[in-house]
Structure 1
Amino acid sequence: MALAKLGAVVLDCPDPRALAGFYAEVLGGTVEGDDEWAVLKAPDGRSLAFQAAPGFVPPKWPAPDHSQQFHLDLTVDDLDAAEKGVLALGAGPLDTEDRSRTWRVYTDPAGHPFCLCAC
């Protein structure tokens, strides 16, 4: 028997509503909340939360002496189309040169790494 159930994954960031808006554009869904706490409710019923963190410093990737803390794997049907979309929304490329792989790494506008993964 489990002792708990997962409530949400929460990302620290400087601007919760803005980062929730970025992920809403990538994943779909609606954003609720304010400048301190925002929640993206995705169409599949899952939620992703965003919390204001004064003095936020984004993780470094790849850097053996600085943990990336965590990352999101986002499954897509078309890597090239998804890449164009996330870059237009303000994502930054981290590891995208090897086009033979089934995944590519980016940062969201707050600097968190995430991967687009072909399904």
Structure 2
Amino acid sequence: MRMTQKLAVIYHVTGCLKCRITARILMNCGVQVETVNIENHPETLQKLKQMGYRSFPVIKMNDSIIWHGLSLKHLLTFLPIDIKIIKARRSDYGNSNSNICGWLFLVYGGAI
């Protein structure tokens, strides 16, 4: 059985740290990443707005938009780690998704 390469298209804006973190984590997990700066594609921005998206990044996996923003819930599905470790770390760093995503980025994302 042949595995299909996962492809993520990340719609982002210039200078978006959450966008860069999301892209880096996905790339380091073996996901093929294409980035699209919506500032250079106003028609794409309009489509995303019509779909209700107001924050970035917006991530489309294999031709289906599945989430927007820096989503711990979605990023965890790509990481080869035990969820118990994340829960333990989450209590160490507080319950904020930003804190735990920062920890995940340090472990799996590398330097920006």
Taking structure 1 as the reference length, what is the TM-score of the superposition?
0.31
Structure with the higher fraction of residues in helix conformation: 2
Higher relative contact order (CA 8 A, sep 6+): 2
State TM-score, norm by structure 2: 0.32
